[in-house]
Structure 1
Amino acid sequence: MIQANDLRIGNFVHSVEIGNEVIINSISDEGITFKNCVTFDYPTFEDITPIPLTEEILFKCGFFYDIDSDTYKISDCTLQIDMSDFEIPDAIVFGESLRYVRHLHQLQNLFFALTGKELEVKR
């Protein structure tokens, strides 16, 4: 389950009810709504799950693989993701600090916090 304070409008998550990836459109006390999706009730935070980061998702976000450092990088910001030992990333390096990010919404939030820009995710 994802906590409400971990989400922002525009985050990608997986909807258990719909069975697919959705984009958060609104967050309220009553629940959440999804962009371009109609649901009968407000989905709750128990109705969504995080999307694990994979190489495919990183490429959809504009990352490229740097063979010299065995990391994934993005040009808008100096983020390096080391996936050499794991199926999913263990940490993102930003300058001298590490941030542990394993899900797409966490990567979106970190990118926004560092750049002030939304991370574009191609579908």
Structure 2
Amino acid sequence: MVTISDIRIGNILHPDRNDHTIVATVRAIEENKIGFYEHASVAPAEVAAVSLTPLWLAGYSFSYSQEQLTWSKGKMILNKVAEGFVFSLGDHRQALRHVHQLQNLYFALFTENLEVELDQEAAYEEVELAADSVMVNYLPKDKQCASFSFNLAAEGKIYQVFYKKDPQGYWNFSSYSEIN
């Protein structure tokens, strides 16, 4: 459950705790209601936090370093842990499991809002990253198969993602299409 004291205007949340396919931006905070730009005002008990994932980090223009296994944007560096991500500053460690926590920490450190910056290339990279993280679950059993696809739900959208086998026998992400 999200409490009023944990959020601020501009945070991204699920306005319906039972439907995690919808995300919305907070536009107003009152004593017993949270107003959203894309959704009606609701009681805090009806709201759920949005899980912080690599898709969200990529959307906020964080870069992933495979060598260091970290996500970074400017001077902000996050380490992936089992429960989410951790921001470290000296001896202080701050766990980040939800998008609004990242938004609030970023604002506290840099006095500016995190803005989603999705262009075509970033969107492609986001879908590829998400697909690559689950692709092993969809590998074809037929060793002669040269391509396969599967559906992927990410950030409230459904995509069909496609993989092709290269000459060395490795599967490579080749494309995707959004399913309405």
TM-score for both structures, normalised by structure 2: 0.59
One-letter code aligned to 1:82: N
Q: Structure 1 residue 13 and structure 2 residue 8: aligned?
A: no
The percent identity for this pair of structures is 28
Residue in structure 1 matching 2:25, options 11, 23, 33: 23
- Which secondary structure state, in structure 2, belongs to the residue aligned with residue 100 of structure 1? strand
1:118 lines up with 2:113 in the alignment: yes
The structural deviation recorded for 1:8 is 0.3
Aligned-pair distance for 1:121? 2.2
Higher-helix-fraction structure: 2
Amino acid at match of 1:94: L
| Number of matched pairs | 116
Of structures 1 and 2, the one with the larger relative CO (CA 8 A, separation 6+) is 1
Looking at structure 2, the residues matched to 54 and 96 of structure 1 have their Cα atoms a distance apart, in angstroms, of: 24
Report the equivalent of 1:59.
Answer: 58
2:79 to 82, 102, 105: 82
Normalised by the length of structure 1, the TM-score is 0.84
The unaligned stretches of length 5 or more in structure 1 are none
Misfit runs of 4+, over 4 Å = none
2: CA distance, partners of 1:120 / 1:95:
26
| Paired position in structure 1 for 2:103 | 108
Root-mean-square deviation (Å): 2.0
C-alpha distance 30-86 of structure 1, shift in aligned 2 (>3 A) = closer
Which residue of the partner structure matches residue 92 of structure 1? 87
- Does the CA contact (< 8 Å) of 2:11 and 2:26 recur in 1? yes
Contact 2:28/2:34 (<8 A) preserved: yes
